[in-house]
């Protein structure tokens, strides 16, 4: 293989696949390589007896970006799945996100006015906090004592493996809050699961693109560099620079799958387990993402883990140390003018799928206009 491609794309995840699609549409050539045995990156699903198992964590597509919704719909149709997770705390089930159904179960209130009254009273105790210094302060200021103690504190400490007083406030700003009986987790106008699964979406994006799987860029860097005029790198940025400024930390996950000879285990795709004494954070029942009617079911328990090199890096840890390190890598990357860094691992950022596609298309357009 000695063809000179316009681009060598390292990573067949959503970023690499969207970038490849866009530049190919405009007549550029590319080769995509991935060290895994499959395309799709973390959106990959393994099909077992008709059920798509989200191998790297449950993925629900949602967006408020009209152009990105139009773009993905060129490649696949979406079903009408709406994410309405539940929280199990000490055997009681509560609706998420925090809404009138949650307040009704928690406090026995029926009207928004009653719920607001209780919430305001509980929040009042924390209004002296003007600039929350950590997640605990942010959560108490936003939600008051009951919601914090029932849904947030123990879950978050399990998820991140440390006290809520050691975590940055912004993590909790992701939790939506509303005073209607609406269990839709996301506020976005567009939502669903690709019909036929995420693998089909990625395969359609990569249609006509040369892809080499089980191929690690770092196994033969010089050779791969010689194959293309430019490189798009979507792997870990610290690894790219040989950990020159140190390792970036991640939170990892372990997934335990169970095949059950019953047709419905929990009646919902996602149930969070919010108390500390249950070691996993949630149980996913995959068939409900696609309204599966199989006589059997497959569930996955999600256990947060510390990350070791060689494991799976899932969530970036945005503390001071890592922010300083990523800044150094980003500054260095500017001098690599023929390498374009993109995607969640090269950016060291939590990007939802719509953000990932948006960033890939932005980069592709910039390249096409240069
Ligand atoms: P990835 O999917 O990680 O792809 C990168 C690819 O690069 C991988 O396939 C990897 O094998 C390859 N690679 C890395 N290094 C090398 C190398 N040296 N050589 C060759 N190949 C290499 N977003 C949502 O919108 N909705 C959700 O519900 C949602 N749920 C999520 C749940 C979890 C647990 C996590 C962690 C993320 C979730 N996301 C969700 C975010 C979503 O996963 C990302 O937006 C998306 O996967 C990012 O795509 P990517 O291509 O940047 O990265
Ligand atoms: N969270 C929580 N209780 C819950 C769900 C989430 O306290 O029942 C917190 C937790 O700190 C988590 C953050 O909110 O890290 C974001 O959770 P979300 O489920 O939105 O994101 P995901 O973990 O799926 O990326």
Q: What is the pLDDT of residues 35-87, one digit of tens each?
A: 999 999 999 999 999 999 999 999 999 999 999 999 999 999 999 999 999 99
Q: Give the largest Cα separation in the chain, rounded.
A: 70
16: helix, coil or strand?
helix
The answer to whether 126 is a known catalytic residue is no
Average pLDDT of the chain, as a whole number: 96
Is 27 within the bounds of a domain?
A: yes
The answer to whether 251 is a known catalytic residue is yes
Task: Name 131's Cβ contacts closer than 8 Å, sequence gap at least 6.
Answer: none
Q: Specify whether 72 is located in the same domain as 153.
A: no
- End position of a domain, from candidates 108, 140, 172: 172
Domain count, the chain: 2
Is 323 within the bounds of a domain?
A: yes
CB atoms within 10 A of CB 170: 11
Residue among 69, 24, 16, 38 nearest 47 (CA): 38
Q: Specify whether 13 is located in the same domain as 65.
A: yes
Q: Specify whether 113 is located in the same domain as 203.
A: no
- Cβ of residue 218 lying under 6 Å from some atom of ligand 1: yes
- Cβ of residue 201 lying under 6 Å from some atom of ligand 1: no
Residues with CB under 6 A from ligand 2: 87, 96, 151-152, 155-156, 159, 171-172, 174-175, 272, 274
The answer to whether 24 is a known catalytic residue is no
Sequence-ordered alpha helix ranges (H) in the chain:
14-25, 66-73, 100-107, 112-124, 135-147, 153-160, 198-205, 221-225, 237-240, 320-333, 344-347, 353-368
Q: Specify whether 9 is located in the same domain as 76.
A: yes
Q: Specify whether 220 is located in the same domain as 108.
A: no
Lowest mean pLDDT among 169-178, 249-258, 355-364: 169-178
Atom 6 of ligand 1, nearest CA residue:
11
- pLDDT tens digits along 307-363: 988 889 999 998 889 999 999 999 999 999 999 999 999 999 999 999 999 999 999
Q: Which of 136, 154, 285, 302 is catalytic?
A: 302
Q: Which of 94, 282, 290, 344 is catalytic?
A: 282
Closest approach atom of ligand 2 to CA 151:
3
Is 60 within the bounds of a domain?
A: yes
- End position of a domain, from candidates 172, 206, 237: 172
In the predicted model, what is the mean pLDDT of residues 285-293? 98
Task: Tell me the CA distances in angstroms from 124 to 30, 72, 120, 300, one per residue in order.
Answer: 58, 44, 6, 40
Task: Name 237's Cβ contacts closer than 8 Å, sequence gap at least 6.
Answer: 248, 326, 329, 330, 333, 341, 345, 346, 347, 348
Half-sphere exposure of residue 366: CA atoms within 13 angstroms, side-chain side: 9
CB atoms within 10 A of CB 66: 10
In the predicted model, what is the mean pLDDT of residues 118-146? 94
Q: Specify whether 242 is located in the same domain as 330.
A: yes
Q: Specify whether 122 is located in the same domain as 160.
A: yes
Is 260 within the bounds of a domain?
A: no
Q: Specify whether 103 is located in the same domain as 199.
A: no
Is 179 within the bounds of a domain?
A: no
Domain span at 138? 97-172
Atom 9 of ligand 1, nearest CA residue:
41
Q: Specify whether 140 is located in the same domain as 15.
A: no
Is 229 within the bounds of a domain?
A: yes
- pLDDT tens digits along 257-271: 999 999 999 999 999
Is 68 within the bounds of a domain?
A: yes
Is 304 within the bounds of a domain?
A: no
The CATH number for 14's domain is: 3.40.50.720
Q: Specify whether 135 is located in the same domain as 39.
A: no
Q: Specify whether 77 is located in the same domain as 104.
A: no
- End position of a domain, from candidates 113, 143, 172: 172
């Amino acid at each position: 293989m000695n063809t000179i491609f316009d681009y060598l794309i390292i990573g067949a995840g959503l970023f690499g696949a969207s970038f490849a699609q866009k530049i190919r549409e405009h007549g550029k050539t590319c080769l995509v390589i991935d060290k895994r045995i499959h395309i799709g990156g973390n959106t990959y699903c393994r099909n077992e007896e008709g059920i798509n198992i989200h191998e790297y964590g449950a993925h629900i597509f949602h967006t408020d970006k009209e152009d990105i919704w139009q773009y993905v719909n060129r490649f696949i149709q979406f079903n009408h799945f709406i994410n309405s997770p539940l929280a199990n705390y000490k055997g009681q089930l509560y609706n998420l996100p925090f809404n009138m159904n949650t307040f009704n179960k928690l406090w026995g209130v029926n009207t928004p006015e009653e719920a607001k009254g209780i919430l305001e009273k509980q929040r009042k105790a924390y209004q002296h906090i003007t600039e929350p210094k950590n997640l605990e302060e942010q959560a108490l200021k936003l939600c008051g004592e009951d919601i914090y103690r029932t849904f947030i504190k123990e879950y978050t400490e399990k998820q991140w493996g440390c006290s809520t007083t050691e975590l940055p406030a912004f993590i909790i700003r992701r939790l939506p809050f509303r005073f209607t009986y609406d269990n839709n987790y996301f506020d976005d106008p567009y939502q669903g699961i690709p019909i036929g699964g995420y693998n089909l979406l990625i395969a359609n994006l990569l249609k006509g693109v040369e892809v080499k799987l089980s191929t690690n860029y770092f196994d033969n860097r010089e050779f791969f560099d010689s194959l293309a005029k430019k490189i798009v790198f979507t792997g870990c940025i610290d690894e790219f620079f040989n950990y020159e400024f140190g390792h970036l930390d991640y939170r990892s996950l372990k997934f335990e799958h169970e095949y059950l000879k019953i047709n419905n285990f929990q009646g919902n795709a996602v149930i969070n387990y919010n108390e500390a004494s249950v070691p996993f954070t949630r149980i996913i029942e995959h068939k409900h993402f696609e309204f599966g009617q199989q006589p059997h079911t497959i569930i996955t328990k999600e256990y947060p883990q510390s990350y070791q090199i060689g494991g799976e890096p899932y969530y970036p840890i945005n503390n001071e140390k890592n922010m300083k390190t990523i800044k150094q890598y980003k500054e260095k990357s500017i001098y690599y003018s023929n390498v374009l860094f993109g995607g969640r691992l090269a950016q060291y950022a939590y990007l939802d799928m719509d953000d990932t596609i948006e960033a890939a298309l932005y980069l592709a357009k910039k390249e096409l206009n240069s």
